[in-house]
Amino acid sequence: MQTVYPKRKEENNMKRFYAVLAAIVVAFCFTACKEPDPPQADGFLLEGYSIVYDAENDLMYNAAKRLQTAIKGAYNATAMLKPDTQGAAGKEIVLGDTDRGALSEGLLLRDFKVDVSKNGGIAIGGGQPAAVSDGVDDFIEKFLGTAHAFTESDSYVFRYDYAFRSISINGEDILDYTVVYSEASAAGGKIAADLSEKIADKMGVLLDMRDVAQSDGGKEIRIGVGDETGNPVFSDYDYALYADGDDLVLNATEKALAATDAGEQLLALFDGDAADGVLNVSVSTEFTVREGAKYSMEFVSARRSAVVREGVNLYEFHYKNKSGKPVIVYAAEIKADSGCTFAAGTVNDGYEIGNNLSQSVLGMAKSAQANGKNVVCAVNSGFFAISGDQHQEGVIVKDGKVLYQGSGVYAREWWGLTKSGEIVFGEYYDLYVNGNPKEGFRDDLMQATAGNHLLWKDGEKVKIEDPDTALLNANPRSCFLTRENGDAVIFVADGRYSGSAGLTMEETQEIAMRMGAYNALNLDGGGSSTLVMPTGASNALQVVNKPLGNAGVEANLRKVADSILVLVK
């Protein structure tokens, strides 16, 4: 019988074979399926980092969040977000200007840079937060598609290609300029912001902007705040764009800034062609008013001839009428915040009228001054019986005392200062309760004098009619007006001589509007038109215009029944 031996040795060998094979397969699968190790090149990985950002800037927080997400995707590592209010600790990626320091130095607004230091620090800076945000996105695109190992050689700077390398205004570097406007002016603020944005877009810099109250007297781009010389633009339809010394000036009222193309013309100066990246803006020093409305009077020139006190200015305007004849207008501007008030001027500053009592405007101003009143301006006011007893034809109220209620025969229009300090204008019958003389004279007036014809009332043009057409013709004129903002203007137009032809009533209405009238009253004119202010080296009261072409000395001045005085409170 044949003996059969078990195949134990062969079976054991097979088991060993399969075990080894299984081990090889497992090892292969483990090697093939596991995530590859990050490259260990000469550099550092973004593992264990914090991202530092400006705690008060939402744009920087959002950029930090995007960077955090990109690091997670590239390294499977979580970068902690750290506001810059937390102290520095560990490895950090710093975004923009933070409490750690400024990263914007040397960069224009759209420029950004990435700094990689050998000790493992990374900083992404920009000329402004938006540029830092762009820099973060560029950094992510360049480096974080994979687990990049960083070295110092990864540092770089991006420079935006701006239209201009530099801008000059009449040869002066725009970087030396400050944009000055009034924070109370919405239109001025918008133009200032638009200009700043344009310079930023064209050149990559932000100009300093400030309210006129913080003006430091340096080189300025002045928007709607006048100039240092005092050139006047009062009409809501006009503006002037010119250089005043080193300053670039857009001279206009708030309404003109909003309603005209003044802002567009200022911005257009910076649209020129640049030679080799340098834009030279040339601006004329000639003060010329750009008229936004069709006027009968052609503007020739204007200047501020005196500053009597802060908020009280004297101006001289030159125009040509339709016939080409010259007209000179002298205007006293009394700002609402000048600390001045208005009063009725009378003979010897007293309370007696008529009875052949009359005195020149200069004499009335000097009499008030002798009584201790600080007179900064005076002008003739009401019509009177020049060939009779010198009595007023219209109302006169002085210091709350009604000296004369006026006459319904003449029905002269008037201005008044109420007990509450408001300047009011009205028709003759507005002097009475409910417009009815039978119900009594109004009791709220402290001062009042008359004129002849309201020209503007509450911003509306008043239709002018007069049976005495001679009063509508060209004559020397006096006018008292107030602006909606509380400023007042008193102006006199010389006439009846070759140097100045005077104004028609319609032209007076137009000039009042160009002075900014909200309310305006035509006063007595002709030889009575006299404007007095303290001017010259002596600062003594004197006549600033030329009544009927004559020098303003006492002997040449017509005596009148009353006047309007501007007094320091």
Bridge partners (DSSP) listed for residue 122: 93, 116
C-alpha to C-alpha distance for 100 and 84, rounded to whole angstroms: 7
Average pLDDT, the chain: 92
Helices (H) and strands (E) in the chain, counts: 8, 33
Q: What is the token pair recorded at 382? A: 């009401």
C-alpha to C-alpha distance for 498 and 503, rounded to whole angstroms: 13
The amino acid occupying position 44 is F
Q: What is the token pair recorded at 372? A: 């201790």
pLDDT at 26: 39
pLDDT at 16: 53
Q: Do domains 50-158 and 166-291 have the same CATH topology?
A: yes
Q: Which residues, at least 6 apart from 275, have a Cβ–Cβ distance to it below 8 Å?
A: none
pLDDT at 108: 94
pLDDT at 537: 85
If one counts every other C-beta atom within 10 angstroms of the C-beta of residue 205, the result is 17
If one counts every other C-beta atom within 10 angstroms of the C-beta of residue 21, the result is 10
C-alpha to C-alpha distance for 397 and 378, rounded to whole angstroms: 16
The amino acid occupying position 488 is A
Reported pTM = 0.77
- Burial of 370 per CB tally in 10 Å (0-12, 13-18, 19+): exposed
Question: Is the distance from CB of 345 to CB of 539 less than 8 angstroms?
Answer: no
- Burial of 216 per CB tally in 10 Å (0-12, 13-18, 19+): exposed
E strand residue ranges, 282-393: 290-291, 298-309, 312-320, 326-334, 340-345, 375-380
Question: Is the distance from CB of 252 to CB of 224 less than 8 angstroms?
Answer: yes
pLDDT at 275: 78
Question: Is the distance from CB of 337 to CB of 309 less than 8 angstroms?
Answer: no
Q: Give the three-class secondary structure for 318.
A: strand
Bridge partners (DSSP) listed for residue 540: 535
Q: What is the token pair recorded at 21? A: 């094979």
Question: Is the distance from CB of 509 to CB of 466 less than 8 angstroms?
Answer: no
pLDDT at 9: 41
Q: Give the CA angle between residues 53, 55, 60 to the nearest 5°.
A: 45
The DSSP symbol for 36 reads P
CATH of 50-158, one of 3.40.50.720, 1.10.3720.10, 3.20.20.60, 3.30.379.10: 3.30.379.10
E strand residue ranges, 373-432: 375-380, 396-398, 401-404, 414-418, 423-426
| CA 415 remoteness from chain centre | 32
pLDDT at 34: 41
| Alpha carbons within 13 A on the beta-carbon side of 19 | 6
C-alpha to C-alpha distance for 517 and 435, rounded to whole angstroms: 25
Q: How far is CA 278 from CA 161, 178, 201, 370, 537, in A?
A: 14, 20, 15, 62, 47
pLDDT at 556: 82
C-alpha to C-alpha distance for 266 and 242, rounded to whole angstroms: 10
| CA 330 remoteness from chain centre | 27
Q: Give the three-class secondary structure for 413.
A: coil
As assigned by CATH, the class of the 166-291 domain is alpha beta
Map out the domains of the chain as residue ranges: 50-158, 166-291, 298-568
pLDDT at 446: 99
The amino acid occupying position 386 is I
- Burial of 306 per CB tally in 10 Å (0-12, 13-18, 19+): middle
Task: Quick: pLDDT tens for 91-127.
Answer: 999 999 999 989 999 999 999 999 999 999 999 999 9
Question: What residue ranges of the chain have pLDDT lower than 50?
Answer: 1-15, 17-40
Strands 247-252 and 278-281: unpaired
Q: Give the CA angle between residues 112, 116, 121 to the nearest 5°.
A: 115
